[in-house]
Structure 1
Amino acid sequence: MSAAVTIVGIGGSARPGSTTERAVRIALAAAGRRGARTRLIGGPDLVLPLYDAAEAGRSVRGRELVAAVASADGIVIGTPAYHGSVSGMVKNALDYVEELRADGRPYFSERAVGCISVARGCQGAGSALAALRATVHALRGWPTPLGVTVSTEPTPFDSGERLDDLRTRERLELLGDQVVEFALMRRAWTAHPETEAARLPPGA
């Protein structure tokens, strides 16, 4: 039996247990139910020195973040929306991925990346999600077809009885599923490229 794929979650704020962190956890839990190993880098783990290529190796948390990304088969990123874009904390963490520029899989190459944004209102969440997906593209990652916005007005997750809460949770779980599905397909293709190519329709 092949080893489980590894999905790494990155996101949240300096406040442990933030709504953004909880959203990432829901996606990771769905990935775990698909048999993936999961790891969350959130809250205090994201309090990193401002990225500087000359100094990055001195940050223990920075090295741990880079190592986790390097070993990941898929990634889930969650950001609170700050002034309509990705938060400075999350963007700084993503800047550390520059340390993988010379890796065998540079940056986010060959990985699906699920993107989540959280804001007090739909407009900020939407623009932050677009900015996050653009950053993932720049880092050579493949954003999943589904990106999830979470509006905290009213705050989700507080009541499992509200339909909006259920829909939000279902979207986050589907995002986690998509990251795992891509990782499994990528692994199958890498292990048996001839077999997988034969499954493609003519002209694909």
Structure 2
Amino acid sequence: MTEKFIVGIGGTTRGGSSTELLVRAVLDACARQGAKVEMFGAKELVALPFYAPENEERSDAQRHFIDSVRRADGLVIGSPGYHAGISALVKNAIDLMQDTMTDKRVYLDGCPVGLVVSAAGWQATGTTLSSLRDIVCSLRGWPTPVGVTMNSLQQKPFDADGKLIDDALSTMIESQAKQLMGFGYA
């Protein structure tokens, strides 16, 4: 069995945001199950120029991001819930996946994708998770059955060092990682 490569994408312009920490937690769970992982958090996402379909030139950051997506056996995409939708930072990264349109694996065809949402309220977590599921399906990806959501008004799942301390959320994260790692063709 070959080592799986799982790519995490997400966060806000603030490094160490709850969204970024959640995506990293899923990646850590995948790594414990034997995956090689790579994270595109705030620092990396901010470095991606705005996607412009008419511009075929790509920055080094864009090329590295797309190369990682192309090699990925699975993805974890996390977004804060902003006004019932995903953040522009995350959407820009997703839009860049258009570069894979003519690849052997078109977009995310057959790729499992774990989805993570952090928002200030349950309504925003639900609408944002639904939006992410729609986007992943339009890119031919397979959203994992387990979606991880966190209401930042009610939950404080990380300690001061960014360590996950919420047992219920930890269970959801482990379940999503297991689904990402266990997906495959028969």
Q: Scaled by the length of structure 1, what TM-score is found?
A: 0.84
Give distance in 1, aligned partners of 2:155 and 2:45.
Answer: 23
What is the count of residue pairs matched by the alignment? 181
Tell me by how many angstroms 1:56 deviates. Answer: 5.0
Q: Deviations over 1:137-187 (max 9, x none)?
A: 010000011111111113422359xxx9210121112111111110xx33x
Counterpart in 1 of 2:120? 120
Counterpart in 2 of 1:197? none
1:144 is paired with a residue of what secondary structure?
strand
The structure carrying a bigger helix percent of its residues is 1
Equivalent residues of 1:115, 1:143 under 8 A apart: yes
Tell me by how many angstroms 1:54 deviates. Answer: 2.9
Counterpart in 2 of 1:53? 53
2:81 is paired with a residue of what secondary structure?
strand
Equivalent residues of 1:115, 1:129 under 8 A apart: yes
Give distance in 2, aligned partners of 1:95 and 1:56.
Answer: 13
Code of the aligned partner of 1:20: T
Q: Scaled by the length of structure 2, what TM-score is found?
A: 0.92
Tell me by how many angstroms 1:87 deviates. Answer: 0.6
Residues 56/40 of structure 1: CA separation in 2 closer, same or farther (3 Å cut) = farther
1:71 aligns with 2:99: no
Tell me by how many angstroms 1:26 deviates. Answer: 0.7
Unaligned stretches of 5+ residues in structure 1: 190-204
Counterpart in 1 of 2:32? 33
Q: Which runs of 4+ in 1 moved over 3 A?
A: none
Deviating more after overlay: 151-160 vs 5-14: 151-160
Q: Deviations over 1:89-117 (max 9, x none)?
A: 10111000000000000111121000111
1:20 aligns with 2:19: yes
The percentage of counterpart residues that share the same residue type is 39
Q: Which has the larger radius of gyration?
A: 1
1:158 is paired with a residue of what secondary structure?
coil
Tell me by how many angstroms 1:57 deviates. Answer: 3.0
1:98 is paired with a residue of what secondary structure?
helix
Equivalent residues of 1:76, 1:176 under 8 A apart: no
Counterpart in 2 of 1:196? none
Give distance in 2, aligned partners of 1:16 and 1:141.
Answer: 27
Q: Deviations over 1:71-101 (max 9, x none)?
A: 0001110000111101111011100000000
Tell me by how many angstroms 1:50 deviates. Answer: 1.7
1:105 is paired with a residue of what secondary structure?
coil
